[in-house]
Amino acid sequence: MTDVSVTRASDLGGLANPARPLSPIDVGAYDDATLRHFLTLLFRIRFAEEKVGELVERGLAKAPCHLGIGQEAVAVGVSAALNARDRVFGGHRSHSHYLALGGDVYKLLAEVLGKLDGTSRGMGGSMHLYGRELGFYGSVPLVGATIPLAVGAGIAAQMEGQGAVGVCYFGDGATEEGVFHESMNLASAMRLPVLFVCENNLFSSHLDINLRQPSDRIGRYGDAHVVNTRSVDGNDTVAVAKAANELVTHARNGGGPGLLEAVTFRHRGHVGPKEDIDVGVRRRQSDIDAWKRVDPIPRLISALRDANRMTAGEIAQLEQSVRKEIDEAATRAEAAAYPEERALLDLVYIGGASK
């Protein structure tokens, strides 16, 4: 588009500004085990993605890897509102979505390396993850593609009448795809139990949202489609969990779909482990630095310590054990086998060789 000013005012009431005065994370509503679980997941996602970055740098992972480092709180918070009957779909940046549901790091790393033990039996790589046993029904990289699939999961859930929800994660860029709007309208008109989770990281690859949309607040689409909407601090695990829980509960009770806008930022570039300072349109070192200061992990750690929920020692120990888990998983994944050649034709159709 023509060069609209990228300094246009934000409609997000501070959420897009990492230098705003922060309200501290309010851990009051959750018990110790849950909070420890949140932190475990945050660590696991963070370190697993850092490991993926290493595998890319070492030339072992060839598939495009989109890291969500800095955005982990979204998936952790959302997953807290879900149960085993719900069906979750992701996109190109879905390591966190898989892991936050309880996904296995070894399977993830094996998949990233194209190995048979991977989540998708080595047929997908980083951008195509699967974990049905967890309720993770699949992620694929075509932007916006899984949004209507989650609506279909909502139809299924409505027919079953068991209170399940369909969930999809997508980015701010995906809301520029028509299918997002068609899906919101369909879900709204049918009052389907669907949770639309927009990770608004203010960028779509190299482009700032202000270069692509007339406002940086994705929530306005929820208003237009008459969908219950919450815009929250996406770097606050608890805020995300609470908002997700509200919307999901409403949906389970027949109140129709919800749109959760979690405002966040990715520390790394669009694809691969670099920070992409040079290539972005307004992606300055100072922006990244400012966002790193509101990193969801230290923020949750401070809150846990301030509230005396975990000691520094416990946290350090947890960190160590997660790091160890991931190193071991990586070593195993590197050594694992590739799929056999016949998979190429055998998997085209379900149940055996194409005939």
Partner 1 sequence: MTVRATYGEAIRLGFEYLMERYSNVFCIGQGLWSPWYVGNSMTDLDHKFGRHRVIDTPVSELACTGAAVGASLCGYRAIVIHPRMDFMVLAADPIINQAAKWSHMLGGQAAPAVTVRAIINRGGEQGAQHSQALHSWFAHIPGLRVVMPATVQDARDLLISAVLCDDPVMYIDDRWLYDLSEDLPDVVERDLRSEKPRVLRSGKDVTLVGSSYSTLLCQQAAVELEKQGIDAEVIDLRVLNPLDTTSVVESVAKTGRLVAVDGGWRTAGLAGEVIARVSESLGRFKSRPIRVTLPDAPAPTSKPLEAIYYPDSQRVIEAVQETLAVAR
Ligand X SMILES: Cc1ncc(C[n+]2csc(CCOP(=O)(O)OP(=O)(O)O)c2C)c(N)n1
Tell me which residues touch ligand X (CB under 6 A): 92-93, 141-143, 170-174, 201, 203-205, 270
The answer to whether residue 6 forms part of the interface with partner 1 (CB under 8 A) is: no
Among 88, 127, 297, 301, binds partner 1 (CB under 8 A): 127
CB of 183 to partner 1, least distance (A): 5
- Residue 219 and residue 231 in contact, taking contact as beta carbons nearer than 8 Å: yes
CB of 170 to its own copies, least distance (A): 14
The answer to whether residue 231 forms part of the interface with its own copies (CB under 8 A) is: no
> DSSP letters of 154-172?
HHHHHHHTS---EEEEEET
Segment near its own copies (CB under 8 A), from 43-51, 130-138, 175-183, 241-249?
175-183
CB of 334 to partner 1, least distance (A): 13
SS3 258: strand
Binding partner of 118, given Mg ion, partner 1, its own copies, none, CB within 5-8 angstroms per partner class:
partner 1
User: Helices 237-252 & 72-79, crossing angle to 10 degrees?
Assistant: 40
Segment near its own copies (CB under 8 A), from 12-20, 184-192, 197-205, 281-289?
184-192
CB of 280 to its own copies, least distance (A): 18
Interstrand relation of 194-200 and 166-171 (parallel, antiparallel or unpaired): parallel
Among 43, 47, 137, 265, binds partner 1 (CB under 8 A): 137
Terminal-to-terminal C-alpha distance of the chain: 48
Name the nearest CA neighbour of 254 among 236, 275, 228, 220. 228
Binding partner of 201, given Mg ion, its own copies, partner 1, none, CB within 5-8 angstroms per partner class:
Mg ion
User: Helices 296-306 & 32-57, crossing angle to 10 degrees?
Assistant: 150
Output the CA–CA distances (angstroms, integers) from residue 26 to 29, 34, 229, 304, in the order listed.
Answer: 8, 13, 21, 9
- Tell me which residues touch its own copies (CB under 8 A): 1-2, 4, 158, 176-182, 185-186, 188-191, 211-215, 220-221, 223-227
